[in-house]
């Protein structure tokens, strides 16, 4: 189990430069140099988190108190398991991670290999956890195409599906977190989400790279019992 999270140290004074780029593409070279010089990558490795993304959830949870002791948490697109690690460390009683890929075990978490869009998945999760979820987390992102507009539309569509799933499994007062990208169409999520939740925010945690267009939608105070909201229905209306 990772130790209690601490803030990554200041960026190193001297950046690491790769001696040779032989056999690597320019994009691969830049990605590797960025990884070597990223304090969050080093901190995740030192503290036992499976990915630097763990710090994004830690920072959002520190600010908005999403995960409480005894919570039931569902982690969509959970691989490699970093967000599930955080949920367990923060005292969740049940942590269930879903992914199409297999995930190495995390003590205190249960991983299901499957599609969250399966019709029976909400009922399976409720039965497994002994009740509705208090928090639904989604750090999912589709494979990128390299075309910014296309990639933006695809990740927002994935967030819409996660939002619809969250409404099917959340308890009253529950919270929902999903990754989106800046670009305009993420605003289509806001109207139906504001009807389904008391508070909806766009958040860019410090661990999210400054050059990235990545944002998170953080919704709290789920209004259970109201008709399920859909961004697609809102756009059509």
Show which residues are catalytic: 179
Q: How many residues can be counted in the chain?
A: 237
Measure the CA–CA gap between 200 and 223, rounded to whole angstroms. Answer: 12
Spatial separation of the C-alpha atoms in residues 127 and 61, rounded to whole Å: 26
Tell me how far CA of residue 104 lies from CA of 55, 97, 130, in angstroms: 20, 11, 24
What's phi and psi for 167, nearest 5 deg? -65, -25
Angle value at C-alpha 71, between 63 and 194, nearest 5 degrees? 55
What does the alpha-carbon distance between residue 92 and residue 110 come to, in Å, rounded to a whole number?
12
Contact 222, 197 (CB under 8 A): yes
Whether the CB-CB separation of 189 and 180 falls below 8 Å is answered with yes
Side by side, the strands of the sheet bearing 197-203 are 110-113, 94-99, 72-76, 133-138, 170-181, 214-222, 197-203
Separation between Cα atoms, residue 31 and residue 81, nearest integer Å: 22
């Amino acid at each position: 189990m990772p130790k209690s999270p601490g803030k990554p140290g200041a960026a190193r004074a001297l950046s690491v430069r790769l001696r040779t780029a032989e056999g690597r593409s320019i994009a691969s070279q830049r990605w590797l140099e960025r990884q070597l010089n990223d304090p969050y990558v080093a901190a995740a490795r030192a503290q036992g988190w499976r990915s630097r993304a763990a710090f994004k959830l830690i920072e959002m949870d520190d600010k908005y108190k999403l995960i409480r002791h005894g919570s039931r948490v569902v982690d969509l697109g959970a691989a490699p398991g970093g967000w599930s690690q955080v949920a367990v460390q923060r005292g969740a009683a049940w942590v269930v991670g879903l992914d199409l890929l297999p995930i190495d075990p995390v003590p205190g978490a249960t991983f299901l290999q499957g599609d969250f869009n399966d019709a029976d998945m909400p009922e399976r999760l409720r039965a497994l956890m002994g009740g509705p979820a208090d928090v639904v987390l989604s750090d999912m992102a589709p494979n990128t195409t390299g075309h910014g507009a296309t990639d933006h539309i695809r990740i927002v569509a994935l967030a819409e599906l996660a939002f619809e799933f969250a409404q099917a499994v959340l308890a009253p007062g529950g919270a929902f977190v999903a990754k989106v990208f800046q670009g305009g169409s993420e605003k289509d999520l806001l109207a139906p989400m504001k009807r389904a939740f008391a508070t909806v925010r766009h958040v860019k945690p410090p661990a999210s790279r400054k050059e990235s267009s990545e944002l998170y939608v953080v919704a709290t105070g789920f209004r259970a019992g109201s008709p399920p909201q859909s961004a697609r229905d809102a756009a059509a209306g």
